[in-house]
Amino acid sequence: MTLKNDLLKELESNRQQAISGQKLAEKFGVSRNAIWKAITALREDGYEISSRTNSGYQLAGDCNILSPAAVRSYLPAELASIAIFSYKEIDSTNTEAKRLVNEGLNETALILAESQSSGRGRQGRSFFSPRGSSVYLSIVFHPKSGLSEAVSTTTMAAVAVAETIEELTAEHTEIKWVNDVFYRGKKICGILTEAVTDFESGTVASVIVGIGINIGTDFPPELSDIASCLSPEQVNRNQLIATVSSRLLKMANAPQDKAYLQSYRTHSLVLGKKVNYFQNGTSYSGTAIDIDDAGGLIIRLADGSTSTLHSGEISLRLAE
Ligand code: BTN
């Protein structure tokens, strides 16, 4: 890591107080002049860093620049050396993750972007991904498990996002089956999980969990009724990325621990509600009654029978 990155990490972890040039120089074993030069370079990158003669350097409270060093400063020790790739603009962080896996990436990694020119959503839809303050993140890991275990990752990711937003903003979130996170009654986050399979062993070689969280988004008219966002003042996006990633990776590393399912049920926007869905070209209506241990949605139909959905989409039925 360069001095600039070390310094940024230190300033990120000490946003509440200024640190003197002397202390920083001692910590990194360099001269105060080297610290001053690194601070100048960070300012040139757009970081707003105040400096006061008697107290030292401090990162502005509202500085929200996306940076691997800043994300790293919020990661727990066991993820401190995780690979992080960050782009100003990319077609899609999920597509980039696939390219990296195909080129041999075999460690856990985060791929971040300020904007996406071809952000991808579920069912072949596009995902609105303008430059600004939003989060476009792909988390890549290599579970060597079967497909059914990997499918649970999508449920875990929804829980990781819902819990993180609540932890960092103290605002309530909900999850619409299967993995849309809602805030103030509208969708704030979409999740697209993709798997790279190893045909020889029949296992999932890599899982790519793509997460888009709207922050300070200026939505076009067709999205403004259905999408919501946090404001950039509510959350530090580097901290948001680190917290979502560490929560998800913790759950994915212990798939036998099903505690996340209880959190999923508690956050569910659909349990107890009337829903519609399509299966093999036929439309069905029923009441969502539970989430099973594989993340499937159990629906009671009008004739009293139950059906469990493992994929696809549902829509909520308006009161009749
Ligand atoms: C959906 O709601 O349909 C899923 C949207 C997933 C969007 C994220 S943004 C980061 C990652 N890269 C993509 O191209 N898509 C996912």
Ligand 1 neighbour 237 (Cβ under 6 A): no
Ligand 1 pocket: which of 87, 120, 140 to mutate (most atoms within 8 A of CB): 120
**Average pLDDT in the 210-233 region?**
97
Element (H, E) at 311: none
Which of 54-58, 238-242, 313-317 has the largest mean confidence?
238-242
Strand 314-316 and strand 274-279: the pairing is antiparallel
Ligand 1 pocket: which of 118, 122, 127 to mutate (most atoms within 8 A of CB): 127
Ligand 1 neighbour 268 (Cβ under 6 A): no
Give yes or no for a contact between 299 and 308, defined as CB atoms under 8 angstroms apart.
Answer: yes
Each residue's pLDDT tens digit, 167-179: 999 999 999 999 9
Which atom of ligand 1 approaches the CA of 121 most closely?
3
Each residue's pLDDT tens digit, 31-57: 999 999 999 999 988 889 998 888 899
Say yes or no to pLDDT of 149 above 60: yes
Say which DSSP state 224 is in. H
pLDDT band at 319 (very low <50, low <70, confident <90, very high): very low
Using a pLDDT cut of 70, give the percent of the chain over it: 99
> Rounded to whole angstroms, how far apart are CA atoms 108 and 122?
23
Each residue's pLDDT tens digit, 103-137: 999 999 999 999 999 999 999 999 999 999 999 99
Which atom of ligand 1 approaches the CA of 189 most closely?
2
Q: What is the DSSP string of 262-277?
A: HHHHHHBSSTTSEEEE
What is the pLDDT at residue 60? Answer: 87
Strand 297-301 and strand 282-291: the pairing is antiparallel
List, edge to edge, every strand of the sheet that includes 186-198.
Answer: 83-90, 109-116, 135-141, 203-213, 186-198, 180-183, 173-176
Q: Is the dihedral of CA 58, 64, 65, 66 positive or negative?
A: positive
What is the pLDDT at residue 61? Answer: 78
Which atom of ligand 1 approaches the CA of 122 most closely?
3
Strand runs (DSSP E) across 161-281, as ranges?
A: 173-176, 180-183, 186-198, 203-213, 274-279
What tokens were used for 35? 């610290």
Q: Which residues, 6+ apart, have CB-to-CB distance to 235 below 8 Å?
A: 165, 168, 169, 215
Ligand 1 neighbour 117 (Cβ under 6 A): no
Give the closest residue (by CA) to ligand 1 atom 2: 190
For ligand 1, the distance from its centroid to the CA atom of residue 153, given in whole angstroms, is: 15
**Average pLDDT in the 95-99 region?**
98
Ligand 1 neighbour 184 (Cβ under 6 A): no
Which atom of ligand 1 approaches the CA of 116 most closely?
14
Q: At what angle do helices 21-28 and 3-13 cross, to 10 degrees?
A: 120
Say which DSSP state 296 is in. P
Which atom of ligand 1 approaches the CA of 118 most closely?
14
pTM of the model: 0.90
Ligand 1 neighbour 190 (Cβ under 6 A): yes
Centroid of chain to Cα 259: 20
